[in-house]
Amino acid sequence: MKRAFDTVCALIALTVFSPLLLLVAMAILVNTGRPVFFLQERAGLHGRSFHIIKFRSMTRDAEQRIHGEYIAADNPYVTPVGRFLRRTSLDELPEFVNVLKGEMSLVGPRPQLSQEVANYDEFQRRRLEVRPGITGWAQVNGRNSISWTERFKLDAWYIDHWTPWLDVRILFMTIGQVLRQRGLERPPDITEP
């Protein structure tokens, strides 16, 4: 049921947002050239790796220089167009393709880098019991402004309490979060897993 809902919604979203996707792609091309998309290996369901698709929001050499570090909006590697994309979450729109491919869900824990998942303890690995999501319970309850410990707890709560209605609630909450641009930046004391 969840997979069917994801597929239908992803198809509708890609159709509805296709003019916006084209506009964003053109803005990236004009501002910084190719590539338009950023692909990165992430851990999905049961830890299987896949390549997440996002609009590129940083300079071409950023990934080699930052090595998976958290990038704040004012980081010099974030392009002018990228700042806008990140602030509005438009950089995430291509992830609907990951949803269509069955690698992601609309709602679930955010996918992490494969090398980070390799260091998870037993409790943290719980988030791999479901497909990762474009949005999730942790995203609508603090996003980047909460600690990784709290994110893991929220992801586990979501897995234990999942219902179709919870997914619908999270999707509506996500729209509100994006419009209000809440939880985008994280305080300096929050550390990586």
To the nearest 10°, the Cα dihedral for 94, 70, 89, 126?
Answer: 70
Chain mean pLDDT for the chain: 88
Give residue-wise pLDDT tens across range 6-22: 999 999 999 999 999 99
Is the pLDDT at 112 greater than 90, yes or no?
Answer: yes
What percent of the chain is modeled with pLDDT above 70? 85
- 37-43 and 49-55: which strand pairing? antiparallel
63-82 residue pLDDT tens:
656 655 555 556 668 888 98
Q: What are φ and ψ of residue 41, in 5° steps?
A: -70, 130
The C-alpha atoms of residue 96 and residue 44 are separated, in whole angstroms, by 15
What's the mean pLDDT in 94-118?
A: 95
Cβ-contact 5, 167 below 8 angstroms? yes
For 55-65, the pLDDT digits (tens) are: 998 887 666 56
pTM of the predicted model as reported, rounded to 2 decimal places: 0.85
3-class DSSP assignment, residue 41: strand
What pLDDT sits at residue 28?
Answer: 95
pLDDT confidence of 187, banded at 50, 70, 90?
very low
If you write DSSP's letter for every residue of 138-192 in order, what string do you get?
A: TGGGTGGGS-HHHHHHHHHHHHHH--HHHHHHHHHHHHHHHHHT-S-S--TT---
Q: How many angstroms separate the CA atoms of 10 and 124, rounded?
A: 28
Q: Which pLDDT value is given to residue 107? A: 98
How much is the pLDDT for 192? 41
Query: Could you give the percent of the chain with pLDDT greater than 90?
Result: 67
